[in-house]
Structure 1
Amino acid sequence: MFFRNLTLFRFSATVANDLEKLDEALAEHRLRPVGPLEMSTRGFVSPLGRNEEALTHVVKASTLVMVGSEDKLLPSSVVNDELHNRVQKIAEEEGRKVNGRERKRIKDDVLNELLPRAFVRSSRLAVYADRKHGWLVIDSSSRKSAENGVTQIREALGSFPAVPLAPEESPRALMTDWLATGNLPGGLTLGDEVELRDPATATGAIARCRRQDLESEEVREHLRNGKQVFLLGLTFDDRMTFVLGEDLVVRKLKFLDVVLDEMGDSPHDSPAAEMDARFALLTLELERLLGKLDEWFKLPRPD
């Protein structure tokens, strides 16, 4: 179990104390199957697997939870086509137009008939809270999905004032300087991916490079023309690679072989033991990375 993307929030030391009762709070918010006439349900599932009961997994000061969802797959085009057919049939058989109120009733009938037969899509969102340092880490690059994860925890606890990052140093300006000068913080090296944009207008020119030498003349020409870095591929301490956005979302996170080798190939006695090993390694590596992000961009923890 390794996260592939990191959307980050921060919370205070006081809020960290509230997380001590998270396991108890989640018990009343388990994911239940979506009902015949429901579009979706949200709740918590065990991070250890389908047949496990525990809704949290704790290693030292980090607590892992898994937000589950079930969503009915019922495209609006299917509903609208069936609605159109029924309205057309009334017009042909009864020789009259269907008014707005009747049209709404017919649409409700269509939904009530189609929903129980719709396919259900299940999804899982991994989230962990580092209580010691005040990080909430969500395995998603989507701000909407991340906010939904925070909302689920907030509903379970009654209150959970985790806030988005508020960098005091401009990520765009700092990453542009790294690329332009080659002066990166210790332990950080350029990867092979970058997205450069003209910041003057919302529809300004965009240059995307993948599998590219970022110190090439082609990239430098874009910088000389005033483009700035919006996404930058980086390698940290030769242990992980990722793409960092100007929104400070970490995308395409990948641990290198030196990290994976530390896991070893020995079998574990139980799902919990295997999760312990993987989660401990994940949080240890990310603790160092998040500490550096805090150092580079100055990401204050709420009081």
Structure 2
Amino acid sequence: MFFRNLTLFRFSAPVATDLDRLEEALPEHRLRPVGPMEMSTRGFISPLGRNEEALVHNVGRNTMVTVGSEDKLLPSAVVNDEIANRVQKIVDEEGRKVSGRERKRMKDDVMNELLPRAFVRTSRMSGYVDKKHGWLVLDTSSRKSAENTLSQVREALGSFPAVPLAPEESPRILMTHWVATGELPAGLVLGDECELRDPATASGAIARCRRQDLDTDEIREHLRTGKQVFQLGLVFDDRISFVLGEDLILRKIKFTDVVLDGQADSPESAAAEADANFALMALEYERLLGKLEEWFKLPRPE
């Protein structure tokens, strides 16, 4: 259940009160099976698992939701091969060229024939809202996937003005300063991963380091030549390790043994275990996100 990547949005205190409608709003937007002639469907599913009905799961002041999807797998190469076969058959049997308009009709016919037989891939993305502090936390490192999930919530509620983070401190400049000087905020230490780029040009030099000590002259030499830190491995309070991007997306999150040792040994049931893990995760992320807000000066919308 622990989220391994975090893409974050913020919302105001007045918006938080409107989130109490989630439980009554989501059932009308439940995921339905993809139809024979559809490429995909999106909708809400239970955060608690396949056989559960509840679309909202509350633990404390945090509310978890999950968006599911069903997508038809119909590779363009398969469609193009079938069209090519049909075109070649016309050339061989009728001795004429196939026009662009005829090719388009042919493609529509191929799609109509193949779509009902295509395999269906299911996927899910979970997220939760921290109504007290105004965070929407989504378990993905893909900005596009996060925006799609946010759109599902907006559609269900009619409106949900959550916005991307707007740091007053440049993450790239601040992370570069941390690595160059070794002066990190209290409780934060360097990990063993970073990505350095020359920001002057889109095709500038890139240096990627993994499983490497970042407090070295080699790394600082890259910085002296003009590179900046675009991604940086960090460890917070000996409890959470992660890679922070200049887009303020958190990737590769892992809880250390200090956190994991605090899990209940013998939960009463699977539901009790899920609740305990969600509560533990949300509490740890609340502390970390509070520090992100402080370090990068992340205003909460008014």
TM-score per shorter chain, which class?
A: over 0.9
TM-fit CA distance, 1:47: 0.5
Alignment correspondent of 1:20: 20
Give the letter aligned to residue 176 of structure 1: T
Q: After the TM superposition, which segments of 4 or more aligned residues of structure 1 sit over 4 Å from their partners?
A: none
List per-residue Cα deviations over 1:9-49 (Å, max 9, x = no partner).
00111111111010111100111111111111100110100
In the alignment, does 2:64 pair up with 1:50? no
TM-fit CA distance, 1:188: 0.2
Alignment correspondent of 1:279: 278
TM-fit CA distance, 1:93: 1.2
Separation of aligned partners in 1, 2:160 and 2:67: 15
TM-fit CA distance, 1:269: 2.4
In the alignment, does 2:221 pair up with 1:221? yes
Separation of aligned partners in 2, 1:64 and 1:254: 20
Alignment correspondent of 1:84: 84
TM-fit CA distance, 1:98: 2.1
Q: Is the 8 A contact 2:264 2:276 kept in 1?
A: no
Map residues 173-188 of structure 1 onto 2, 5 A cutoff.
Answer: 173-188=173-188
Identity of aligned residues (%): 77
In the alignment, does 2:297 pair up with 1:293? no
Q: Secondary structure at the match of 1:266?
A: coil
Give the letter aligned to residue 278 of structure 2: F
In the alignment, does 2:25 pair up with 1:32? no
Q: CA RMSD in A?
A: 0.9
Map residues 242-257 of structure 1 onto 2, 5 A cutoff.
Answer: 242-257=242-257
Alignment correspondent of 1:230: 230
Separation of aligned partners in 2, 1:170 and 1:222: 19
Number of equivalent positions:
302
Separation of aligned partners in 1, 2:2 and 2:152: 21
TM-fit CA distance, 1:270: 4.2
Separation of aligned partners in 1, 2:196 and 2:37: 46
List per-residue Cα deviations over 1:102-134 (Å, max 9, x = no partner).
221111111111111111111110111111100
In the alignment, does 2:239 pair up with 1:239? yes
TM-fit CA distance, 1:280: 0.5
Q: Out of 139-148 and 216-225, give the one that drifted further.
A: 216-225
Q: Is the 8 A contact 2:193 2:214 kept in 1?
A: yes
Map residues 126-141 of structure 1 onto 2, 5 A cutoff.
Answer: 126-141=126-141
Q: Secondary structure at the match of 2:288?
A: helix
Separation of aligned partners in 1, 2:168 and 2:134: 17
Alignment correspondent of 2:60: 60
TM-fit CA distance, 1:99: 2.1
Q: Secondary structure at the match of 1:81?
A: helix
Alignment correspondent of 1:107: 107
Separation of aligned partners in 1, 2:104 and 2:231: 46
Separation of aligned partners in 2, 1:260 and 1:24: 35
Task: Normalising by structure 2, report the TM-score.
Answer: 0.98
Q: Secondary structure at the match of 1:159?
A: coil
**Where does structure 2 lack aligned partners over 5 or more consecutive residues?**
none
Q: Secondary structure at the match of 2:261?
A: helix
Give the letter aligned to residue 105 of structure 1: R
Alignment correspondent of 1:72: 72
Separation of aligned partners in 2, 1:62 and 1:198: 40
**Where does structure 1 lack aligned partners over 5 or more consecutive residues?**
none
Q: Out of 42-51 and 103-112, give the one that drifted further.
A: 103-112
Give the letter aligned to residue 48 of structure 1: L
